Amino acid sequence: MRLLHVVHSCNPLAGGVAEAVNRLAEAAAEVDCVAEIATCDQPLSSFLEELDLAARGFGPASGSSYHSCPALGSWLMENAASFDALVSHGLWQYPGVAVRKAARKAGKPYFVYPHGMLDPWFKNQYPFKHLKKVLFWWFRQGQILRNAKAVCFTTDEERRLARGTFRPYQCNEAVTGLGVANPPSNADVQTKAFFDKFPNLLEKRKLLFLGRIHRKKGIDLLLKAFEELSTADDHLVVAGPSEDGFFAEELVRSSSAFADRITWAGMISGDLKWGALRSADSLILPSHQENFGMVVAEALAVGTPVLITDKVNLWREVEDDRAGKVSTDDISGVNALMREWKNPAFAKLAPNARPCFEKRFRINTAARNLSALVASN
């Protein structure tokens, strides 16, 4: 079976959608599929060349929010027939329109992953932008979903939330899951890499935030809760790229009173990232909206329990498996998560983390589910 994944960008700095597409496509080989990727990225982008599969860039796309990329559309029209199915990732942009058009011409089925872009949080947070999306929904996006063989959701929670945002809502729903690959096995090397970089953290009790420094991640609430409830032996590690320099500077200023208990690690990857996840006593993700939470699956994969809000869409699975604690995405909820972390009983959840990953969040399971869905259509 040959599948073509089409997405605006595969740049890891673009966030969760790019990461999800890269991992899902790479896992296809484990379930006897051949997967390729087509994007609006520049053709010679280094991150495309680093993937273990054929990944083509047809950019640059236009600077508009729609990100038109005629070269991608032309290539799809010429090559869609050579694939068994096309898989479009994300909404509101050119790739979805191009996939539908090319699939219809080639007589091939196509599937759509919304990746949380139907979550009502965006409607409530950006009401004027939502009005623009309503028009596009009536004109184009709703039709793209209706004509798809299936709309693939990563969790039941994502599917539930998607149903109330736009009208009319008509599509063939499927929950295919998502996840991460098994972590690299050189745990000692990874942990050493982390402590070589941050030797002052060796004897500290560490709470790790790993993700983009973005307002929707709730990190401002985390800093307030940490300041109020942490003690001298506690340390917060904040790791991830910043998209908004002003917001990042604001966070640093607001935490100056307890700066000795925070490490701003910046973007980390490879052994350094895995070392951070393995050495942390817990990962915390206090997001206001999180379609899946790849970093949560990564933490569980190395046996680290998690603290998340009920706006991280895999929260039900974490709660059911007792692999962490869940609370609301306000200051009282994040304070509650901090208190859970401070409670000695929290450490007893660690043995549940890895089994939760094995049961629910292996990427080859998601790849197998997608392959079976395509085969059934």
My answer on whether omega of the bond before 199 falls inside 30° of 0, hence cis, is no
Please give the mean pLDDT across all residues of the chain.
95
**Cα angle for residues 297, 21, 159 (degrees, 5° grid):** 65
Whole-number pLDDT of residue 15: 74
Whole-number pLDDT of residue 296: 98
If pLDDT is split at 50, 70 and 90, which confidence band does 260 have? Answer: very high
Whole-number pLDDT of residue 65: 67
- The model's pLDDT over 22-80, given as tens digits with 9 standing for 90+, comes to 999 999 999 999 999 999 999 999 999 999 999 999 999 887 767 899 999 999 999 99
Residue type, 189: V
- The model's pLDDT over 313-339, given as tens digits with 9 standing for 90+, comes to 999 999 999 999 999 999 999 999 999
Distance of alpha carbon 345 from its chain centroid, rounded? 29
Q: How far apart are CA 310 and CA 329, in angstroms?
A: 7
Task: Give the 3-state secondary structure of residue 38.
Answer: strand
Mean pLDDT of 261-278: 96
Which H or E run contains 144?
A: helix 142-147
pTM to 2 decimal places: 0.92
Q: How far apart are CA 33 and CA 38, in angstroms?
A: 16
Q: Kind of pairing, strands 282-285 and 205-210?
A: parallel
Q: Give the percent of the chain with pLDDT over 70.
A: 99
Residue type, 340: E
Mean pLDDT of 357-373: 97
- Using an 8 Å Cβ cutoff, are 237 and 299 in contact? no
Mean pLDDT of 341-349: 97
- The model's pLDDT over 131-186, given as tens digits with 9 standing for 90+, comes to 999 999 999 999 999 999 999 999 999 999 999 999 999 999 999 999 999 999 99
Q: How far apart are CA 42 and CA 65, in angstroms?
A: 17
Beta strand ranges found along the chain (DSSP E): 2-7, 34-39, 55-57, 85-89, 110-113, 150-153, 173-175, 205-210, 234-239, 262-266, 282-285, 306-309, 324-327
If pLDDT is split at 50, 70 and 90, which confidence band does 245 have? Answer: confident
The answer, yes or no, to whether residue 294 has pLDDT greater than 70, is yes
- Domains of the chain as residue ranges with CATH: 2-180+363-376 (3.40.50.2000), 187-360 (3.40.50.2000)
Whole-number pLDDT of residue 72: 97
**Maximal C-alpha separation, the chain:** 64
Q: Give the percent of the chain with pLDDT over 90.
A: 93
- Using an 8 Å Cβ cutoff, are 323 and 300 in contact? yes
Place of tokens 């945002």: 165
What's the chain's length in residues?
A: 377
